[in-house]
Amino acid sequence: MRADARRSRRRLLDSAIELILEIGGEPSRDAVADRAGVGIGTLYRHFPDKQALLHAVVLDVLDRTINQGESAVAESATGGEALRRYMHAAIDTSLGVVNIVHPLLDTPEWPERRTATEAMLDRLIVTGHRDGAIARDVTAADIALATIRFCRPLAIGLDPAVERRIAHQHLDTYLDGLRRRPNRSA
């Protein structure tokens, strides 16, 4: 792959991620190409059909988030600490992009990511259960759903930076709540 092609591809991905957060949904192909500073033809060469670009964006973001989870588990002293690190990292990486995940749930690429996410969360949860940092009744599914909630922008036209700040803030309070009530569903 030629250097300029790789550069264009990466720019398209990054521009799409920005736009998705800004407008809260699927951006038009024209807008993505403009933002990336490439022609619309270039976009279609890299991502041939209708959904290819958005698929690539979601997989890119999802894989990075899963990796951050792995790191969090590996590098944290406690399960609670791993949970905190993972969820904040998910906000940094996935904020906004969860908005367009739904259509991907029916594609061949999904089951593999689902498995990887579950495996990672299970390891995280088991560690937390073992060291007592995460309540027994908190499950991987609970964490997954809460993570999605905090990665959703509020859809009232806030600036992305503000959006991110608020998400982290809400998550902190939520995590405090998780610690407070060890005998209730998350």
**156 near a second copy, judged by CB under 8 A:** yes
Looking at beta carbons only, is 23 or 126 nearer to DNA?
Answer: 23
**62 near a second copy, judged by CB under 8 A:** no
Stretch that binds a second copy, among 42-50, 68-76, 122-130, 150-158 (CB under 8 A): 150-158
Looking at beta carbons only, is 77 or 157 nearer to DNA?
Answer: 157
Among 6, 114, 130, 184, binds a second copy (CB under 8 A): 184
Stretch that binds a second copy, among 34-42, 58-66, 117-125, 149-157 (CB under 8 A): 149-157
**Which entry of a second copy, DNA, none binds 175, CB below 5 to 8 A by partner kind?**
a second copy
Q: What is the largest CA-CA distance in the chain?
A: 56
**Which entry of DNA, a second copy, none binds 1, CB below 5 to 8 A by partner kind?**
DNA
**135 near a second copy, judged by CB under 8 A:** no
**Per-residue contact string for residues 82-111; x = within reach of a second copy by CB under 8 A:** ----------------xx-xx--x------
Among 3, 49, 173, 183, binds a second copy (CB under 8 A): 173
How far apart, in whole angstroms, are the C-alpha atoms of residue 168 and residue 161?
Answer: 11
Amino acid at residue number 85: R
How far apart, in whole angstroms, are the C-alpha atoms of residue 26 and residue 34?
Answer: 15
Q: Using an 8 Å Cβ cutoff, are 75 and 38 in contact? A: no
Burial status of residue 171 (CB atoms within 10 A of its CB: 0-12, 13-18, 19 or more):
buried
